[in-house]
Amino acid sequence: MARPQLVRRDEFKEAARTPGIVRRAAFATEGVWAGVATTEPGMVSGWHHHGDHSTYLYITHGRFRLESGPLGRDVFEGEPGDFVRIPARVVHRESNPASERGHTVDRIGTGPVVVNVDGPDPGRSKRRG
């Protein structure tokens, strides 16, 4: 019989990394990944996607900026209290334009947690001013 489980914050395990994002897993099973991601002020992550799985995240601290689409032109920013959904296989990068460390609580379905890629367009890996 399955039992409820508590994982304390000091028990989280290091998880797949994308340049600029530190992920820590609370639960990582064959069926789901749940954990937290931390970004430093001014950070811009590497381009990546989450395989065949949608990602759902809740912003707890800082600001969350997401770039996706052709040439990374589809952009939005969220703040604490906002939820974000990133559909499966959508190549994107995240940044934290705030002056404080950013934190999100994330949930990803089965499969690899992250697949790092060069970007939505070859040779374009630096953020435009």
Between CA 92 and CA 1 the distance in angstroms is: 40
pLDDT at position 113: 64
With H, G, I as helix, E, B as strand and everything else as coil, classify residue 60.
strand
What is the CATH number assigned to the segment(s) 20-116? 2.60.120.10
pTM here is 0.80
For 44-75, write each residue's pLDDT tens digit: 999 999 888 889 999 999 999 999 999 999 99
